[in-house]
Each structure stands twice: as C-alpha cells, then as structure tokens.
Amino acid sequence: MSAPNKSYDPVEVEALKPEEIERMRDEALAAVAAAADLDALREVKAAHAGDRSPLALANREIGALPPQAKAEAGKRMGMARGAVNKAFAARQAELEAERDARVLVEEAVDVTLPYDRTPAGARHPITTLSERIEDVFVAMGYEVAEGPEVEAEWFNFDALNIAQDHPARAMQDTLFVQAPGKKAKEAESGVVLRTHTSPVQVRTMLDREPPVYVICPGRVYRMDELDATHTPVFTQVELLAIDEGLTMADLKGTIEHMVRSLFGEGLTTRLRPNYFPFTEPSAELDMQCYVCRGESAGNPDRPCRTCSSEGWIELGGCGMVNPRVLTAAGIDPEKYSGFAFGFGIERLLMFRHSVEDMRDMVEGDVRFTRPFGMEI
Ligand code: DAH
C-alpha cells in the first residue's frame, strides 16, 4: 500500500483543520451575536457567510480531498456553516422584531392630539373669475393691461370725452383724492379713485402702437353705500381692440365667444342702443339667459329666477371707440377704428353662482370663498 498522499491529507490543508473550522465558525457566531442592527447584520453576513467569507473559501478546498477525507471535512464544514446560517436567521428575526416594535412606537399617530394646523384659505371667486375671463381673451391673442387705481382726472374723464359738467364728475359720485385746481395757474386735472377701468384704454393707446388688443381687469371706486346690490369698491374688466377695419360685428363676435366660453355653447348676445361719451355708436350688451335660454320670456309657465323671466341678462356697455378718444390718445381715427366693452365682475359672479348679496363678496369671510374651491 502506498503511503498516504500528504498533500491531500485534510490535516495538512490548513483551512480545513477541525480547529480552524471551529475558529471560523466561532468568529462568525460572535460577529452575528454582536450585530446591533439589521444594517450591521447585513455586513456581518457578507463577511462571514458570503462567497468570499473564510468558510466559503475553505469549503472550496474540499473538492480536491480524497473521498474519505472529503466526507469528513464536508460533514464538519456543513455543520459549521449550518450553525452560522441558523444563527443568522435567528438574529435576523430578533432584530426585525425589535425594529417593528420600535417603528410602531416611533411612528404612532396620536389621534387625540389637538389640531394645530392653520386652516387653508381659498382664492376669492372674483379673482378666479377675472383670471378665467383673462384666459379667454389671452387665448385669442389679447394682452392683459393694467393701470393705476389712483388716477388723474384727465385719464378718467377728459380723455374719454366725458364733459366737465358731466354728473359722474360730481363729488357725490366720484371719490376725489385731490380736487381739480380752481385758479388758472394751478393744475387743472384733479386726482380721483378711478370710477371705471376705461382710463386704461387711453393709457394703453398712448403706450403702444396699434394694432392693440388688450383686456384690463381692475378695481374701481364709486361713492355708493354698501348694500346687497352695491359696493363702493368693485371690479371691472375692460376690453379694447384697435386695428384697421374693425367693426361692430367684430365686437359682437368677440363678446359672443366670451359668453360661450364662460356660460356654454350656442348662447347668443344682443346689442341695445345706448349712450357713452367714449364710444360712438354705443350699446348695452345682453347675453341670452344661460339657464332658460330665453324660454322664460313671455312664458308664465316657465319662470326663470336667473333672468327674472326676461330671457336676457345685461352684461355691460360697449361700442366703437369714439374718434375723439382715439385722437386724445394720439391715434389716427382715419386709419384705425376700435371697439371697447366694459363690465362688472361682481354682477357676473352673482348670476353665474347665484350669490344673492354683494356684501358677502367684500366681507372676507372664508366660509363664503371656500365653496368656490382652490381653482387656479
Ligand atoms: N366705463 C363704463 C362704466 O363704467 C362701461 C363701459 C361702457 C366701458 C362702454 C366701455 C364701453 O369700454 O365701451 O359704466
């Protein structure tokens, strides 16, 4: 019988010596026991049970042993690795249970705590409606223009062809910030809180070269008592288009588009003759009632609250810009014509959303604004 092949003797393969396997196993078990949390355990696992761990590397040596030695080393190694894996599983379960218990405590929601968040506000429906109207016109290529609320009397009245003795100029209708000069050498023009958004028309024409297509939303002021249908501060939207060859048909088509965008397809509008100093001809513009679609007019069987069974809802004033206004703003009335339209948003909000009292719109109570939602 030949002498045993020394190089295949398991005793001679350093890593497979029983004490060595025991040492590696104990080292692994100690590391597992010392892992304080799941992250640490993951690292320990890579170091002591991963592909490049001492036990795994030693295990690779087994294949080269003679059969008997292979069986013995395999058994020893299997037991050592089994013990290590078992310890890992046990420690893992232990640490997971600890973590779950901790999360339950740390992330617990105390539903009995007092509610301390500041209640969310809401955007005012006048703002959102005015923005919605702007959007309709911006989509048609209009620009949004603004002007000051404290306005020179000249812009508010004179440039708009409103005569010196026009009743609207009286102190009981208009809020004057500075009275007009009485002596010849004083400045003639006083300063007012603008009574309408029409002065923005003049400012815009002075500012830009035609063609001009602008929409001017803004706050206006009048000497009125606050009641269910009046407020001394309210909001208007002014529309102005100046171009070559514009006619009243363009005006009607434009407003009709706005009405349909805001109230629904198929609605019509009508013009009723009126007088405004800054437009010629001038008209009052009505839209067909979007609730009864005109069917309530003259039909006692079908009354309509929205239009008081008129079939029509009055929207605002409009007309072709008076050539005198064009001239005051430095625009040649021989070459250009324009149309204008002005209306109040509060009234629009009243019939669009069945708001019955205008005071609700100015009191700032969030219980009024909140049901309109956070429309942006
Ligand atoms: N500025 C007018 C008002 O406040 C409304 C108005 C009428 C505006 C006719 C216009 C217009 O642009 O053409 O009563």
Distance, CA of 84 to CA of 55 (rounded, Å): 10
From the CB of 340, is ligand 1 less than 6 Å away? yes
Let me know whether 102 and 130 are in one domain.
Answer: no
Within-domain flag for 232: yes
- 234 strand-pairing partners: 220
Within-domain flag for 235: yes
Let me know whether 138 and 167 are in one domain.
Answer: yes
Let me know whether 217 and 280 are in one domain.
Answer: yes
Between the CA of 160 and the centroid of ligand 1 the distance, in Å, is: 10
Let me know whether 311 and 350 are in one domain.
Answer: yes
Could you tell me the residue range of the domain that residue 97 belongs to? 14-106
Within-domain flag for 33: yes
From the CB of 279, is ligand 1 less than 6 Å away? yes
pLDDT digits (tens, 9 = 90+) for 227-280: 999 999 999 999 999 999 999 999 999 999 999 999 999 999 999 999 999 999
**What CATH number is given to the structural domain containing 207?**
3.30.930.10
- Range among 42-56, 109-123, 134-148, 188-202 with highest mean pLDDT value: 134-148
Let me know whether 197 and 66 are in one domain.
Answer: no
Q: In what order do the strands lie in the sheet with 337-344?
A: 143-144, 212-221, 233-243, 337-344, 312-321, 279-288, 269-276
Within-domain flag for 9: no
* CA-wise closest residue to 19 among 58, 62, 52, 51: 58
In the three-class reduction of DSSP (H, G, I as helix; E, B as strand; rest coil), residue 186 is classed as: coil
Q: Which are the contacts of 219, defined by CB distance < 8 A and separation ≥ 6?
A: 149, 233, 234, 235
| Exposure letters 70-103 (e unless 16+ CB within 10 A, then b) | beebeebbeebbeebeebbeebbeebeeeeeeee
Let me know whether 158 and 204 are in one domain.
Answer: yes
Let me know whether 96 and 163 are in one domain.
Answer: no
> Which of 17-31, 59-73, 212-226 is least confident?
59-73
From the CB of 341, is ligand 1 less than 6 Å away? yes
- The pLDDT of residue 103 is above 60: yes
| 43 annotated as belonging to a binding site for a ligand | no
Question: Got the DSSP string for 63-87?
Answer: GGS-HHHHHHHHHHHHHHHHHHHHH
From the CB of 145, is ligand 1 less than 6 Å away? no
Between the CA of 184 and the centroid of ligand 1 the distance, in Å, is: 31
The best mutation among 166, 196, 234, 280 to test binding of ligand 1, ranked by most ligand atoms within 8 Å of the C-beta, falls on 196
Let me know whether 158 and 73 are in one domain.
Answer: no
Distance, CA of 57 to CA of 202 (rounded, Å): 90
Per DSSP, the chain holds a count of helices (H) and strands (E) of: 12, 10
pLDDT digits (tens, 9 = 90+) for 128-140: 999 999 999 999 9
Nearest-CA residue for atom 5 of ligand 1:
342
Let me know whether 222 and 337 are in one domain.
Answer: yes
pTM of the model: 0.69
Let me know whether 213 and 73 are in one domain.
Answer: no
- Number of compact structural domains in the chain: 2
